[in-house]
């Protein structure tokens, strides 16, 4: 997506000087300053990126995973720092944690269009550190303050390791997508349609401004197609947190987080005309391969404030 930022600044200053002297002269001075419009083109993420980086899979320690990521309200766990830093205040003594993990994702994929296309199972397994960190617990001199603690931790927030494969036969061709983009106002740009034009997947043979594809010669032909996709990466957060516990009834915490994301993927799509008819089902077309590679990395900063209220032993309120 591309957009524009328009920054407009108006500054109006009115200065009025009044004098009660001879002739009661009044002078009005007005100043106006208008700064030029400033326009900048932005190239940002797509919908897939937004979904990928906004869905967290809080992991952390094995204990946090075992209780369904509720340690943000229970506290006294390193995982709580990434969800509610007030949980750090529940620690009574210093400790360090290391939580290794083995992550496995299973995927079943099928080409839905067409008939009798197989279901293909894929598994992607990766070793990871779900959490490691340290808490320094101190007891203040005040009788009501139970603990004032400082913690440093790295918590795993999301896993991007995936793999899937599909294959089968169905009508249509990827070249039709390139054709629609080129004829629909996009024209020949530097990415999809530009590559397709250079590879002669789309062409303007009569030079009438309308792009054609080989598949137009037999728009009901079945092609053999498939795609393999591999992705890897993770989203983790480095946190520096401070928390306190007052009379075992109220805990508060603040944290400064540094999320770190890395993601890479490779997709290879292929289609071919494997018809037994002489010359194939589509004139001039044999096969097509389309590769996509994406690498993303980023670092940010955030701040969190959390509280835990424990009016009695059976109820805890967390925010």
**250 pLDDT higher than 90:** yes
77-80's contacts with Cβ under 8 Å and 24+ in sequence apart are: 78/131, 78/133, 78/135, 78/151, 78/153, 78/155, 79/131, 79/155
Q: The dihedral of CA 67, 73, 77, 80: what is its sign?
A: positive
In contact, 243 and 253? CB cutoff 8 Å: yes
Measure the CA–CA gap between 224 and 276, rounded to whole angstroms: 12
Closest to 97 in 3D by CA, of 112, 70, 78? 78
**78 pLDDT higher than 90:** no
Tens of pLDDT, residue by residue over 177-222, are: 999 999 987 788 888 899 999 999 999 988 888 999 999 999 999 9
For the chain, counts of helices (H) and of strands (E): 6, 13
Least confident range of 35-44, 130-139, 202-211, 217-226: 35-44
DSSP string, 79-143: THHHH-GGGGGG--S-EEEEEEEEEEEEEEE---SSSSPPPEEEEEEEEEEEEEEEEEEE--SSS
For the chain, the distance separating the N- and C-terminal CA atoms, rounded to the nearest angstrom, is: 36
Q: What is the mean pLDDT of residues 258-277?
A: 91
* Helix (H), strand (E) at residue 242: strand 222-246
277-314: b or e for each residue (b if 16 or more CB lie within 10 Å)? Answer: eeebbbeebeebebeeeeeeeeeeeeebebbbebeeee
In contact, 307 and 316? CB cutoff 8 Å: no
pLDDT grade for 6, boundaries at 50, 70 and 90: very low
**21 pLDDT higher than 60:** no
The torsion angles phi and psi of 194, rounded to 5 degrees, stand at -65, -45
**16 pLDDT higher than 50:** no
Measure the CA–CA gap between 317 and 90, rounded to whole angstroms: 14
Closest to 231 in 3D by CA, of 290, 293, 289, 291? 293
With pLDDT > 70 as the criterion, what percentage of the chain qualifies? 84
């Amino acid at each position: 997506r591309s957009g524009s930022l328009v920054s407009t600044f108006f500054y109006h200053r009115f200065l009025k000087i009044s004098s009660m002297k001879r002739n009661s002269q009044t002078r009005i001075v007005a100043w106006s300053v208008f700064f030029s419009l400033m326009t900048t083109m932005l190239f940002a993420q797509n919908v897939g990126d937004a979904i990928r980086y906004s869905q967290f899979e809080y992991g952390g320690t094995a204990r946090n995973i075992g209780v369904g990521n509720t340690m943000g309200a229970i506290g006294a766990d390193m995982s709580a720092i990434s969800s509610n830093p007030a949980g750090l205040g529940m620690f009574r003594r210093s400790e360090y944690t290391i939580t290794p993990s083995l992550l496995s994702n299973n995927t079943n994929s099928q080409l839905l269009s067409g008939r009798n296309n197989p279901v293909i199972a894929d598994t992607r397994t990766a070793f990871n550190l779900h959490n490691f960190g340290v808490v320094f617990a101190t007891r203040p001199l005040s009788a009501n303050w139970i603990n004032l603690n400082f913690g440093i931790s790295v918590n795993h927030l999301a896993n991007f390791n995936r793999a899937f494969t599909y294959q089968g036969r169905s009508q249509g061709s990827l070249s039709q997508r390139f054709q629609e983009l080129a004829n629909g106002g996009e024209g020949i740009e530097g990415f999809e349609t530009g590559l397709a034009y250079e590879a002669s997947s789309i062409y303007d043979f009569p030079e009438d401004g309308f792009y054609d594809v080989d598949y137009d010669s037999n728009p009901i032909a079945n092609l053999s197609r498939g795609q393999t996709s591999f992705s890897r990466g993770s989203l983790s957060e480095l946190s520096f947190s401070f928390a306190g516990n007052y009379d075992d009834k109220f805990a508060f915490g603040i944290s400064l987080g540094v999320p770190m994301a890395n993601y890479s993927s490779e997709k290879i799509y292929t289609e071919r005309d494997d018809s037994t008819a002489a010359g194939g089902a589509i004139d001039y077309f044999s096969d097509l391969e389309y590769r996509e590679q994406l690498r993303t990395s980023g670092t940010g900063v955030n701040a969190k404030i959390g509280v835990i209220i424990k009016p009695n032993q059976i109820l805890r309120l967390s925010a």
